[in-house]
Amino acid sequence: MLAPLPMPAVSLVVCLRKERDLLERLLRHCDGCYDDLVVVHDGDEFEPDAGSDRLGGSRVPSIDFSSLPTDQVPEVYREQTQSDSVAGTAELVRRHGGRFFAGPREQQQEPHWPFLWHMARHDWILRLDADEFPSPDLRSWLQEIRQGGPEILIAPGYACIWPLWDGCRAKTSSWPNGRLFLFNKTQVSYFGMVEHLPEASAPYERLPLLLQHQPRRKSYGMRNIVFRPQAYRWRERIATSLAATPLALARWNYASQEWPEGWERLRRRPLYEAARRAVKFPLQQWKEMIAAGERPILSACINPGLHHFLLAIEVWKAMRKRFATGS
C-alpha cells in the first residue's frame, strides 16, 4: 500500500506600505489558506511619508538570501512584536499568528521578496499583495491543497486570473491570466528588481481561478502610467539597476551576472525597444482579451505599451548619462 503524500505547508508572505486596513481584509479572506505568515513593512510604519520618498539606492543587502542560515536576520530588518498602538500592523499580524518586520524604505516591494522567502518557514510561498484577496474558488482550492486534496502540486508554481478593477467593480472575469501567486521557493531563482518575476526551469501552471485585486484606485488606466509618482520611481529604479548587474541586487538562488533576455534587449537597444514595445504590447493585449472572451478595453491595452515606452526612454537616458560621465 502506497503511503499518502504529505500535505504541503504554505507560507503567506506580504510586503506593504501603510495598508493595514487592506491587510486586515486580505487575512480575513485567507483564513485556512496558510500555515505560516510573514509580513514586511516598507520602511517605518509610523514614519511620515513627507520627505521619506526620495529615490535613492537600495538599502537591502545585495546578497543571495537563499544561502543565509535559517535563523539569520540582516540588520536592516527588525522584527516588531507590538506596534506603537493597538491599531498598528504588527498587532494585527501577531493576532493572526504571524511575524512582522520593518525593513528599509525601498518604495517598492520586490527587493524585500528574497528576505520574505528566507524568513518563510515552508517551501511553498503564497505571495499576495495587501490590496488583493482570493476569490471563494481560489480560497477553496488553497484549503483543499493544504488538507491533502486530490490535486498534487507538481508544477514549480501556479498562476491565476487577475481581474481589472475600475475602483468600484471588476471589469474582467477571465483576463489577464498569469498572476503567479503560489510557488515552491526551492525551484525558482530571482533578483529583486521592479517588475521582475521569479523564474523556474519548468512552466508555471495557469488555473481558471480568480485572485481579486481591489486597490483604492483603478488597477489600470492612463493615470497609473502618466500621473502616478510611483510609476516614475519604478521606471527610474529599473533604469538604475540595469546599469549594473543582477548581483548588485538582493537575490534568491541567482548567481549570474547576465540579465535575462528581455532585460538585456532593453539595456542594449532602448530606443528600438521603446518603439517596438509601444506597438507590440497594445496589439498583444487586444488579441489576448478577445481570445479570453473579454471585450477589449482600450486604456488597458494601451497601458503596457506606454509604460514600456517610457521605461525604455528612462533606460536610454540612464545609459547616455553613464556614457557621458564615463562611469
Helix intervals (H) in the chain: 20-29, 89-95, 113-119, 136-146, 222, 229-242, 261-268, 270-291, 298-325
Q: How do residues 293-318 score in pLDDT, each as one tens digit?
A: 999 999 999 999 999 999 999 999 99
**Contact at 8 Å (CB) between 307 and 227?**
no
Q: How far is CA 188 from CA 182, 184, 200, in A?
A: 11, 7, 5
Grid coordinates given for 230: 510611483
Q: In the predicted model, is pLDDT for residue 322 greater than 90?
A: no
Which residues does residue 100 pair with via DSSP β-bridges, in sequence order?
39, 80
pLDDT of residue 3: 44
Instruction: Report the range of poorest mean pLDDT among 2-16, 50-64, 69-83, 183-197.
Output: 50-64
Residue tagged 488579441 (cell numbers)? 287
- Say how many Å lie between the first and final Cα of the chain, rounded: 66
- The Cα 285–Cα 219 span in angstroms is 15
Helices vs. strands in the chain: H and E counts, helices first:
9, 12
pLDDT of residue 33: 96
Grid coordinates given for 53: 520618498
pLDDT of residue 85: 55
**Contact at 8 Å (CB) between 98 and 177?**
no
Domain chopping of the chain, boundaries: 10-213, 222-325
Q: How do residues 32-89 score in pLDDT, each as one tens digit?
A: 999 999 999 999 888 877 555 555 666 999 999 999 998 899 999 999 876 655 568 9
Grid coordinates given for 295: 471585450
Q: How do residues 268-293 score in pLDDT, each as one tens digit?
A: 999 999 999 999 999 999 999 999 99
Which residues does residue 161 pair with via DSSP β-bridges, in sequence order?
177, 210
pLDDT of residue 257: 96
C-alpha angle with apex 86: 81 to 92, nearest 5 degrees? 60
Residue tagged 505599451 (cell numbers)? 305
- The Cα 143–Cα 159 span in angstroms is 16
pLDDT of residue 6: 61
**Contact at 8 Å (CB) between 59 and 74?**
no
